[in-house]
Amino acid sequence: MEATIYKSTGSWYLAKTKEGKLWNARAKGKFKIDNISSTNPIAVGDKVTLDIENEGENSAIITTIHDRRNYIIRQSPHNKRYHHIISANLDQVLLIATLREPRTSQGFLDRFLVASEMYAVPAILVFNKADLYKSKEMDLFGRWKEMYSEIGYTVLLTSTKTGQGMQEVLECLQHKVTMLSGHSGVGKSSFINALFPDMNLRTNEVSDWSGKGMHTTTFAEMFDLPNGGQIIDTPGVREFGLMDVTPWDLSHYFPEMRAILGNCQFNNCRHLEEPGCAVKQAVIEGLITEDRYVSYVNIMETLPEPSY
């Protein structure tokens, strides 16, 4: 029978069939999907085939992982040589950021957006805790909203305390599979509880179906929404390590750069010191913001040179 992975602890999984029945599942042997060296070959959102192990205990074996429509990965927090699949088969990703308590850096936003572009998952930026913002934060939000909106991203301002912007978020989530992500401390569980009070999300709970504590720093969990669609709640991250990006690929994941790459003098231009660079000229002319170009350079400096 076919099912979708809703929760993972790394060795045990919660899978739900189309009929809504939940199964406690474990993997049959080792899986290697999409040639990814991953710490978690089965991810929340994966479509799988189950064989019943014990119907009375609702236990099953995962025998097959179906082809993924897409996925988002990051560098494994435990082994930098390995990928960690955050979730799979997404319609969009909603990145929750805050400009105060704590402040999300532009570098974090841009690294995350690069990942969403790499795996062709549309991204929405939500700046939460608006009730805490003073004129300094509102000025910054205004600049960032203009900058990101101009290159095609949806940017929203919300407050879980006052309800500001929450209806707009609800409309974005309807009938879609949405991954929620953000820095540690941005309050994703509180954000979800404000959107859907009946969910009453708890953190750091002990799983009642595996008997083991949840790996709250590593694994994701999917929830059905009352009016259709699902959200995937992911643990907060301190930093977002990119994988599989070369210095020559990076500019393809900046939408404002991608549109003019063919105008560079050299087809292997990295847009740093090369002559005849259309990207640098666009920065000079104000067609690409200096802040985004600085982000590009900062990310470029962290990328390993490819080995041949």
**What CATH number matches the domain at 88-233, 3.40.1280.10, 3.20.20.70, 3.40.50.300, 3.40.50.80?**
3.40.50.300
Highest mean pLDDT among 77-86, 105-114, 206-215: 105-114
Where is average pLDDT lowest: 1-10, 83-92, 204-213, 278-287? 204-213
Mean pLDDT of 199-213: 44
Give domain limits for the chain.
Answer: 2-65, 88-233, 250-302
pLDDT(277) > 70: yes
pLDDT band at 198 (very low <50, low <70, confident <90, very high): confident
The CATH superfamily label for domain 2-65 reads Nucleic acid-binding proteins (2.40.50.140)
pTM of the model: 0.86
The pLDDT of residue 57 is: 85
What percent of the chain stands above pLDDT 90?
Answer: 59
Predicted local confidence at residue 223, as pLDDT: 92
Which burial class, exposed, middle or buried, applies to 126 when counting CB atoms under 10 A from its CB (0-12, 13-18, 19+)? Answer: buried
- pLDDT one-digit tens code per residue, 145-176: 999 999 999 999 999 999 999 999 999 999 99
Taking 3-state DSSP, the helix, strand and coil percentages for the chain, each rounded to the nearest 5, stand at: 30, 25, 45
Which pLDDT does position 213 carry in this prediction? 32
Mean pLDDT calculated for residue range 125-141: 96
* Kind plus residue range of the DSSP H or E element containing 86: strand 83-88
Residue type, 8: S
CA distances from 143 to 47, 165, 299 (A): 40, 18, 21
Check residues 240 and 11 and name the one with the higher pLDDT: 11
pLDDT the model gives residue 211:
35
Asked if pLDDT for residue 263 goes beyond 60, the answer is: yes
HSE-CB for 170 with a 13 A CA cutoff:
14
DSSP state of 272: S
The backbone torsions φ and ψ at residue 198, rounded to the nearest 5 degrees and listed phi first, read: -70, -15
What is the reported pLDDT for 285?
A: 97
Report the Cα 46 to chain-centroid distance in Å. Answer: 15
Fold annotation for 250-302: Ribonucleotide Reductase Protein R1; domain 1 (1.10.40)
Judged against a pLDDT cut of 90, whether residue 128 lies above it is answered with yes
- Answer whether 2-65 and 88-233 agree in fold: no
**pLDDT band of 197, cuts 50, 70, 90:** confident
Residues in contact with 92: Cβ distance below 8 Å, sequence separation at least 6, in sequence order: 121, 122, 123, 124, 172, 176, 177, 178, 179
* 204 pLDDT tier (thresholds 50, 70, 90): very low
**pLDDT-wise least confident of 79-88, 133-142, 234-243:** 234-243
Whether the predicted pLDDT of 1 surpasses 80: yes
CA gap 185, 204 in Å, rounded: 14
24 with 210: CB under 8 angstroms? yes
Integer Cα distance of 189 and 203 in angstroms: 8
- Residue 282 structure tokens: 């666009």
Picking from 67, 61, 65, the residue whose alpha carbon sits closest to that of residue 40 is 65
Report d(CA 278, CA 265) in Å as an integer.
8
- What average pLDDT does the structure give for the chain? 86
> Which residue did the predictor score with more confidence, 307 or 291?
291
pLDDT recorded at residue 307: 54
> How many other CB atoms are there within 10 angstroms of residue 174's CB atom?
12
Residue 47 clears pLDDT 90, i.e. is over it: yes
Nearest by Cα to 97 from 32, 191, 3, 13 = 191
Share of the chain above pLDDT 70, in %: 85
Distances in Å between the Cα of 154 and the Cα atoms of 43, 172, 212 are 26, 10, 39
Mean per-residue pLDDT for 96-125? 93
Average pLDDT of the residues in 112-130: 94
